[in-house]
Structures are given as C-alpha cells and as structure tokens.
Structure 1
Amino acid sequence: MISERDVSVHPPATAGFHIVGYLLNWGFFGALCVQVFLYYWAFPKDKLFLKLIVYGLFALDIIQTALITSDAFLKFGTHFGNVTIFASLKNLWLSVFVINAITGAIVQLFFAYRISVLSKSRILGALVALLAVAGCAAGIASGVQAKISKLNNLAAIAYSTRAEVSAWLSTSAACDIVITTSMVIILSQNRGTGLNPETDDAVKKIIWLTVETGGL
C-alpha cells in the first residue's frame, strides 16, 4: 500500500502545474461570465427550468472558483515557501471531485431530456440519464473517499481512490459519447430536405458544434 512518504515533491515543477491550473480556471471563469451575460441578454423569455439550470451551474462554478482561489492563496501566500503544501488535498476533494461530478451530471441530464424529446425515445434518454447519474455518484464517491482517507498527499490519495475515479471518468466519457452520437444522428435526420436551405445550414452548424464540444 502506498504511503505519503512514497511521494517526492519537486518544488518548481509542482508549483508550476498548480499556477497554470489556477490561471486557466480563472480564464475559463471569465469566459463563462460572458456566456451567462449573453444568455441573460438574449433569452429573457426562456422557461424557468432552463434559467435555473444556467444560473445554478453558474453558482456552482462561482463556488468552485472561490474554493480553488482559496487553495491558491494558501499555497502561494499564507504558506509561501512550504514545499509540502503543494502535495496536500485541501479543498480539492470538493472543488474538483464533487462539484465537477455534479455540474457534469446536470449538463448530461439536460441533454438526456433533449435527446428524449427530439428522438421521441424514452429508452435512449433513460440510458443517457442512467450513465449521467452513475458517473455523478462515482465522482462524489471519489471526493468522499479522498476526504475520509486521512491522507494529505495527492499521489497517495490518487492511488487510494483509483477505482472510484476510473469508474467516474469512464462512465462520464461513455455518457458524452452516447450524447454526441445521438445528437449527431438525430440532427442529421432533420436536414438535407432541401425545402429550406437556411434551416439545413443552421442544423449543419449545430451538428459541427455538437461534435466539437461534445466529442472533444
């Protein structure tokens, strides 16, 4: 069994990975703020449940960014110069494991609903929903396992939660593949009629967007 002493820490490399991650998180958060503002401005008449999904995900991202920023201040401010702090768990069990699992599941469940409506197949929608819930459960289990493991070393934690993390990532990936494939097939069946070229072009763009965002 791996222990905390089995992991060596290289300060420059470890600190570099952390700071890049924090900067990328804030960059993506800025892009998300712009997207939420555009949604608020362009779709004021959307259904209430759609607004709850958008603003709920935004709220979760704010919480996640606050937790990650707290970790960043702790490592590069309060404990500056303490090399071992870079291997500690801190808020990662919640910000990375739990919140990512929940937000991912919410998006996937929304697509499950859309697929069910567009394909008129409850079985296909239920399959996507089942994968989404299973992935979310595994992700939350990973975070809980990391928190209760009483380890304060990321490598040791990664080893102790490898089964839960593998189940989480593989299930979520399978769900994304099913969503992307289903959306492409459904949308492809609704274009190429030739009756309205503008509509066909719009659907084609949506297909490409689905592949680019969902597939990747």
Structure 2
Amino acid sequence: MASSAALPPIPPTIGSITASQLVGSLLNFYLFGVLSVQVYVYHACFPKDKASIKYLVYLIFLFMALSTCLNAADAYFWYASGFGNLIQFSKAHISPFYTPIGGSIIASVIQMFFCYRIWIIKKSAVYLSIAIAIISLIQAIGGLGGGIKAYVAANQDHDELRTVLMWLIGDACADVMIAGAMTVLLTQASRENHRQTNDLVKRIVRLIIETNALSASVAIISLILFAGVPGTNYFICPTMILPGIYANTLLVTFNNRAFAAGGGNLTQQTPSFADNYPRPIPPMTFATNPTSVNILRTTHKVSDADIGLNRLERGSSSDKPHYDDSTWNLNG
C-alpha cells in the first residue's frame, strides 16, 4: 500500500464517490438473506419437484452465496483496509466477477428457463422463445465482455460503451418480452373457463409482470445512469443488485405455488411480488373445499416446478393452451 504522503487528499464529494458501491453491497447482503429464506421455503414445501428443477434452485443459491462472499471481500478491500485510500478504492478488485459476469450469467440462466416455459405452454411459440434466448445470450456476452475488460483495466469506470449497452439493453428487452409472452399465453388459456381458473391466472399474470418489470426497470435505471450521468459511478449500485433480483424472481415464482394451490381458500390473498418478496411462505395444509373440485390437501404433492397449471403446459392437439378441472386433481 502506498504511504499516506503519496495518497491524494479526500475530496469534499467523497460521499457521492463511495456511496454507490456501499449501498449496492448492503442491498446485496439483504437480497441474499431473502434468497436464503426463499430457498428454505422451497425445500420445505416442494420436495417432490423434478431433480432438474432442484438442481437449478440449489446451484443458483450456491452461485449467489459465492457472489455475496466476493462482495464482502470487496467491501473490506474498499472500506476497511483501503479506508481513505482513493487509489485503492478506484480499483475494481474482484467486483467484475460477481457484477457484470455473475449478473449476466444468472440473468441468462433464468431467462432461458422462462423461454423453456413459454415453449412448453405453446409449441408454436418456439420462434419467440428462440428470439428471447438469442437476446439473452447477447446480454450475457455483453456482461462477460464488460466484466473481463473492467478486470483487466483494474478500474471502476467500465468505459466500454458497447459491452455495457449489450448487457443492460439485452437484460431489459428479454425481461419485457418474457413478461409479454407469458401474459398473452396465460390470458388466452383462461378464456371461456370458470371463475376460479380466471382468478388464478390473473394472480399468476400479475406476479409475472411484477417480477419481470422489476428486473427490467433496474437494468434500465443502470443504463440511464451510465449514459445520462457520465464520469460518475452511480450506475454501479443497480448493476450490483441485478443478480440478487433475478435469483429471487425465480424463487418467488416457484414458491407462489403455495398460494396458487390453495384454490378458493386463498382467494382473498392475492399474491404479488411485494407479498412474496420480504416474507417467507411456510409449509401449509389446505382443507377440502366442498364447492370446488378435489382441492389439493398439501403442497408436497406438486411435482412440476410451475405455478399450478401443469395440465395447461402440456398443450393440446390443436396447439392451443387449455385448462380443465382435472388440473387440480394432483392426488391422483
């Protein structure tokens, strides 16, 4: 470390210089805590899910745990051992591995998962799924490129405009397309069905729009700060929390089945991103509703990592999404 005589003086704007990484780090720790609760809820409520879905959830959790540890090491490097040292603070250290690189990888994996769900719901939407997947790969390439260049340059400036644009614009576009496609397909599936089905689909559509809108909004805010306020590092904070938002989005979608499986018993509890995000959903047992069709007694019987529309996703011979009462008969 350089001697104190060689260090530049601390400017009066030190707060605006250091706040972005500090706030981003604190939010990252919070989001990892929320994710830990969500993973526990998933493990407790849905032990019968497919092995591939379980691997996805646990691998994402391990990846986020590693990213959080790297973020903690950076926070120590910037604010403890490098306290008052602007030269040390200006170094990227290991942040590119969990911000552009890790964030783009997590985003791409989760976006690919939703592409698969779109294709399962409606086979003829394969070209739309491919288009979203291509955009997701482009943003991943942009994030990887930006992270590698930032690490090699060993600074926080991220001065490669092209890679940053590929990453953030690709993130936002893919999320908007996923929300739009899922909303249209699920809304089509609810037409001409009974009221309980329509209420369920409305709750699912609301959750999908909220979760994807949040991640897209954070990416857009990062892009606006990057392009609209040049010469500052304000955009770093929202980019730091993108991986945590994507990981929690996936777990919120999975855990929402605990509400969806409740049928008429939970019609007064309209789940939303705000409802699911900060509070865990404990394992719960539902009593039989005599006015509905063979309602699920326990969430442990759900075997497909979806939101209660297993029969819907299988499609039909006419390649149109459909739903029937047997979807709820999950004990058979």
Tell me the TM-score normalized by structure 1: 0.88
Which stretch has the larger CA shift, 124-133 or 89-98?
A: 124-133
Please say if residues 9 and 83 of structure 1, whose CA atoms lie closer than 8 Å, have aligned partners that are also in contact: no
Please say if residues 82 and 89 of structure 2, whose CA atoms lie closer than 8 Å, have aligned partners that are also in contact: no
2:27 aligns with one of 6, 24, 28: 24
Which stretch has the larger CA shift, 38-47 or 131-140?
A: 131-140
Deviations 1:109-154 (A, max 9, x none): 0000000110212212211211111211121111112222x3x432
1:188 Cα deviation after fit: 0.5
Which stretch has the larger CA shift, 23-32 or 117-126?
A: 117-126
Q: Which residue of 2 aligns with 1:202?
A: 200
CA distance in 2, matches of 1:214, 1:167: 18
What are the within-5 Å matches in structure 2 for residues 78-157 of structure 1?
A: 78-121=81-124, 122-148=126-152, 150=153, 152-155=154-157
1:192 Cα deviation after fit: 3.6
CA distance in 1, matches of 2:147, 2:79: 24
> What secondary structure is seen at the aligned counterpart in 1 of 2:190?
coil
Bigger RCO (CA 8 Å, 6+ sep): 2
Please say if residues 64 and 95 of structure 1, whose CA atoms lie closer than 8 Å, have aligned partners that are also in contact: yes
Which stretch has the larger CA shift, 74-83 or 174-183?
A: 74-83
CA RMSD of aligned residues (A): 1.8
CA distance in 2, matches of 1:123, 1:15: 45
Q: Which residue of 1 aligns with 2:41?
A: 38
CA distance in 2, matches of 1:80, 1:95: 22
What are the within-5 Å matches in structure 2 for residues 167-206 of structure 1?
A: 167-195=166-194, 197-206=195-204
Aligned residue identity for 1:154: Q
CA distance in 2, matches of 1:66, 1:162: 28
Please say if residues 112 and 129 of structure 1, whose CA atoms lie closer than 8 Å, have aligned partners that are also in contact: yes
2:209 aligns with one of 197, 208, 211: 211
Deviations 1:39-92 (A, max 9, x none): 111111111111111111111111110111000011222122213322211111
CA distance in 2, matches of 1:215, 1:46: 27
| Residue 74 (structure 1) aligned with residue 83 (structure 2) | no
Q: Percent identity?
A: 31
> What secondary structure is seen at the aligned counterpart in 2 of 1:189?
helix
> What secondary structure is seen at the aligned counterpart in 2 of 1:78?
coil
1:186 Cα deviation after fit: 0.4
Q: Identify the structure with the greater helix proportion.
A: 1
CA distance in 2, matches of 1:179, 1:168: 17
Please say if residues 111 and 133 of structure 2, whose CA atoms lie closer than 8 Å, have aligned partners that are also in contact: yes
> What secondary structure is seen at the aligned counterpart in 1 of 2:114?
helix
Gapped regions of structure 1 (runs ≥ 5) = 1-7
CA distance in 2, matches of 1:34, 1:100: 20
Please say if residues 150 and 156 of structure 2, whose CA atoms lie closer than 8 Å, have aligned partners that are also in contact: no
Tell me the TM-score normalized by structure 2: 0.58
